[in-house]
Amino acid sequence: MNRFALTRPIMRLIVGLALALLPLISAWNLLVPTKQIQIGPTLGGVTNEAPVVFSWSAIRDGSFQKAVAHRLTDAFALRRILIRINNEVRMELFGELTAPNVLRGAKGQLIERLYLEDYCTRTEGMAAELAARNIPKLRDIQNYYVGRGGQFLYVLSPSKAAHLPEFFVDKVPCASTPAARTGLVGEYVAALKQAGINVLDTATLIHSLKGKYDFDLFPQGGVHWNDVGGALAVSAIVDELNRQAGREIVPSFTFTWKLSSAAGADRELIDLLNVFFPPLAYLTPKVKYTTSASCADHPARQLEIAMVGSSFSHLPAAILVEHNCLAKLNLYYYARLGRFGGVPYHELQRNLGEAEMRPMRDAKIMILEENEAFAARNGYVDILRDIVTKP
């Protein structure tokens, strides 16, 4: 007797039951979307789905049909696996990346499209225009905090496109001139300083250290500065806050690093590719900090500090909270999207209203961060200005 004769009917039964269960699972996912049953690893970069609103206006503009189609697609139990199979085949056989805003440069370097578009559209005189737009806002914010006996610091963070242009500019049409690309930050910062704005240019700081280490200060598969870049920026922030205060109010740290496999933000763009075998054959530095003072009873623990900024603010905020004793620091992510802080650093609140943002007015120190790629074009600067100028 064939030794597989008894197992064949069992295998057929198992496969048949699995196929029969798929529509039942999909129906469950459709009816109970908060407790979906999905097969396969979670997909990266998935945004909140639009609610299904039945109305004549929604039908006319197509939003109802789009929301229903998305809900039906999302309910399919094998969706995650099929998406990863599709993405893997397209990447391995045709070199295509399915993440719409991710571009691949030389040597496997990845970048978000927006940063490269900014770098390639910089023009002569653009810095003066951006400074003229931002200086009145920054001056109002600075006057508010300094006028109350506090401190204000405007931090300009670096762009990966500006730090590693050699990997990307020949991969896309890049109409700007080299002089316009490299000169914008220096001219913008000089204009702000001339206007009396307390500005810290961590963009130029990071760019000036290119080639100093055995690794780049931006990871191959990420778009934000790595741990060493963040530590260098925070050291500069602490030095500037202490300089403004005329004494040490925030303890400093020293740090060492060890190269290890990419994790967290160092692979964030790779995770957006949603493939089974992500290209992770690169190392990134992981930092070990030694704080100059004990945080247990340091006065810095009581400092009311608010930070408003982009995704580049997360790493500095976490370092300041956990390694510079600033236990009461709160990061207001894009002002209203969320509030982060605590030890360990984590999300405290999401989707802030006006009442949840008003505590920013009471901060002893305000740190406002903008990335060089979007300087003077962020709505959260306007939100902060409104908060501190309205009664």
Domain ranges of the chain: 7-77, 106-389
CB atoms closer than 10 angstroms to residue 111: 25
CA angle, residues 96, 98, 102, in degrees to nearest 5? 90
Would you state the pLDDT for residue 62? 67
Token pair of 5 as six digits: 């004769």
Q: Which of 138, 156, 146 is nearest to 202 (CA)?
A: 156
What is the rounded CA–CA span in Å between residue 333 and residue 225?
17
Q: Compute the mean pLDDT over every residue in the chain, rounded to the nearest whole number.
A: 88
What are 354-379's pLDDT values in tens digits?
A: 999 999 999 999 999 999 999 999 99
What are 300-316's pLDDT values in tens digits?
A: 999 999 999 999 999 99
Instruction: Compute the average pLDDT of residues 11-29.
Output: 62
Amino acid sitting at position 215: F
15 pLDDT tier (thresholds 50, 70, 90): low
Whether 388 contacts 328, CB under 8 Å = no
What is the rounded CA–CA span in Å between residue 150 and residue 145?
5
What is the rounded CA–CA span in Å between residue 192 and residue 215?
32
What is the rounded CA–CA span in Å between residue 29 and residue 98?
25
What are 326-363's pLDDT values in tens digits?
A: 999 999 999 999 999 999 999 999 999 999 999 999 99
Would you state the pLDDT for residue 4? 46
User: How many alpha carbons fall within 13 Å on the CB side of residue 29?
Assistant: 20
Mutual angle of helices 178-194 and 126-147, in 10-degree steps: 30
Which carries the bigger pLDDT value, residue 10 or residue 367? 367
- Which secondary structure element, helix H or strand E, spans residue 325, and what is its range? none
Would you state the pLDDT for residue 9? 73
Its pTM stands at 0.85
Mutual angle of helices 227-245 and 314-323, in 10-degree steps: 60
- In the numeric block, the tokens 């896309």 are attached to 172
SS3 assignment, position 101:
coil
Would you state the pLDDT for residue 11? 63
